[in-house]
């Protein structure tokens, strides 16, 4: 069986953007691939090093979200990055193979730096060595497990490309050692936010979380952007510029043609349309939230899943590390 590695930064609960970008694919693929899911707390610390409580709390939330969407711990290895020292070790060796200017050119890192500048002003420019280098550590996450495939949202493509470059350079210098991974991007890999922004994001305040309850969903959907030209209930409108229609397409597939027609003809009011979306959204989230609830009620089970997953992941990473040490000629003491 081929290997998958993917995962999330534990900086908050996961939302619909994560679901369509990566979670959905990883659940579907877990039967055909040996799947590893990393809870990337070391990466989360690169820009949250001053808030360890937040990262620790969210390790659990992200574990719950993964289990909630249907990650089956009997098929998939769910583990915590910081508990695998081999990843840190690989990061150091890979850092020799990447130039600082190449790291500065990474478009995702660049976008994150710009976003920080907007929030923190000039202070945002003073990025740390650790933050700049996190794509190198992500290359270690992926290659430690000989991942063939990495299902991710499209914002992660630059990191996978950087990983591939590192692998080629490593194999060229030290001999065939690492597996060159491929990215896999889902068809709805970028979900727009409630405000119509191209990206749904925690920091943008425009996200629908997998764990949102009916009250939260109702508030968010009632406030979503619709066609601004539709003033009266029976005005015809253009669904293609309406966020409510956009989400109908994701979670109300069976009725989406009716929504579209009735919107265009003016026989559907926005309030009724939003109410239908709230019902469909809750229906969509129901099985996810039921599983989350089950695991919330059994915290010791979550602990056990994480502990066993991490142990198994570490053994796998140690195998890769032995090969790396041998080929880098740093296997001084044979064992």
Cβ 208 vs Cβ 220: under 8 Å: yes
Residue where the block lists tokens 């956009």? 246
Residue 246 touches ligand SF4, criterion: CB under 6 A: no
Q: Which of 4, 38, 263, 317 touches ligand SF4 (CB under 6 A)?
A: 263
Would you tell me how many other CB atoms lie within 10 Å of the CB of residue 335? 4
Cα 62 to Cα 176: distance, rounded to the nearest angstrom: 35
Would you tell me how many other CB atoms lie within 10 Å of the CB of residue 312? 14
Residue 152 touches ligand TRP, criterion: CB under 6 A: yes
Cβ 150 vs Cβ 5: under 8 Å: yes
Dihedrals φ, ψ of 127, to 5°? -80, 150
Looking at beta carbons, which residue is closest to ligand TRP? Answer: 40
CB of 56 to ligand TRP, least distance (A): 17
Residue 149 touches ligand SF4, criterion: CB under 6 A: no
CB of 254 to ligand SF4, least distance (A): 16
Cβ distance to ligand TRP smaller for residue 45 or 152: 152
Cα 330 to Cα 13: distance, rounded to the nearest angstrom: 41
Angle at 141 between CA 140 and CA 142, to 5 degrees: 90
Reading the block at residue 306, the tokens are: 């994480």
DSSP 138: H
Q: Which of 66, 163, 206, 226 touches ligand SF4 (CB under 6 A)?
A: 226
Residue 227 touches ligand SF4, criterion: CB under 6 A: yes
Binding residues for ligand SF4, rule CB under 6 A, total: 14
Would you tell me how many other CB atoms lie within 10 Å of the CB of residue 219? 11
SS3 169: helix
Of 17-25, 145-153, 160-168, 226-234: span binding ligand SF4 (CB under 6 A): 226-234
Interface mask toward ligand TRP for 36-75; x: CB under 6 A:
--x-x--x--------------------------------
Would you tell me how many other CB atoms lie within 10 Å of the CB of residue 333? 4
CB of 313 to ligand SF4, least distance (A): 45
Q: Which of 230, 247, 252, 278 touches ligand SF4 (CB under 6 A)?
A: 230
Select from 229, 305, 320, 310 the least CA-distant residue to 3. Answer: 320
Of 124-132, 161-169, 238-246, 315-323: span binding ligand SF4 (CB under 6 A): 238-246
Residue 103 touches ligand TRP, criterion: CB under 6 A: no
What value does the CA radius of gyration of the chain take, rounded to a whole number of Å?
22
Residue 16 touches ligand TRP, criterion: CB under 6 A: no
What residues make contact with ligand SF4 under the rule CB under 6 A? 226-227, 230, 237, 239, 242, 244-245, 259, 263, 268, 270, 273-274
Binding region for ligand TRP (CB under 6 A): 5-9, 38, 40, 43, 138, 141-142, 150, 152, 156
């Amino acid at each position: 069986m081929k290997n998958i590695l993917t995962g999330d930064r534990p900086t908050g609960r996961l939302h619909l953007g994560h679901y369509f970008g990566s979670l959905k694919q990883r659940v579907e693929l877990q039967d055909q691939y040996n799947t590893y899911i990393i809870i990337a707390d070391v990466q989360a610390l690169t820009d949250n090093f001053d808030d360890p409580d937040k990262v620790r709390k969210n390790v659990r939330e992200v574990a719950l979200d993964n289990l909630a969407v249907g990650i089956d711990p009997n098929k998939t290895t769910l583990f915590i990055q910081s508990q695998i020292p081999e990843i840190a070790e690989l990061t150091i060796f890979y850092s020799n193979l990447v130039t600082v200017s190449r790291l500065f050119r990474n478009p995702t890192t660049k976008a994150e730096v710009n976003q920080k500048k907007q929030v923190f002003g000039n202070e945002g420019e003073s990025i740390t060595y650790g933050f700049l280098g996190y794509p190198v550590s992500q290359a270690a996450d992926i290659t430690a497990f000989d991942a063939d495939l990495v299902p991710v949202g499209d914002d992660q493509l630059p990191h996978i490309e950087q990983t591939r470059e590192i692998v080629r350079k490593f194999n060229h210098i030290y001999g065939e050692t690492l597996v060159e991974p491929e990215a896999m991007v889902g068809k709805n890999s970028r979900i727009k936010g409630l405000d119509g922004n191209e990206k749904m994001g925690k920091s943008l305040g425009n996200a629908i979380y997998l764990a949102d309850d009916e009250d939260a969903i109702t508030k968010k959907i009632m406030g979503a952007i619709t066609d601004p030209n539709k003033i009266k209930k029976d005005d015809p409108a253009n669904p293609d510029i309406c966020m409510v229609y956009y989400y109908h397409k994701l979670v109300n597939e069976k009725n989406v043609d009716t929504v579209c027609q009735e919107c265009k003809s003016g026989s559907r009011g926005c309030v009724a349309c939003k109410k239908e979306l709230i019902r469909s959204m809750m229906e969509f989230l129901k099985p996810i939230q039921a599983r989350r609830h089950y695991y919330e009620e059994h915290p010791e089970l979550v602990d056990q899943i994480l502990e066993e997953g991490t142990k198994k992941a570490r053994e796998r990473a140690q195998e890769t590390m032995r090969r790396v040490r041998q080929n880098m000629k740093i296997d001084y003491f044979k064992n």
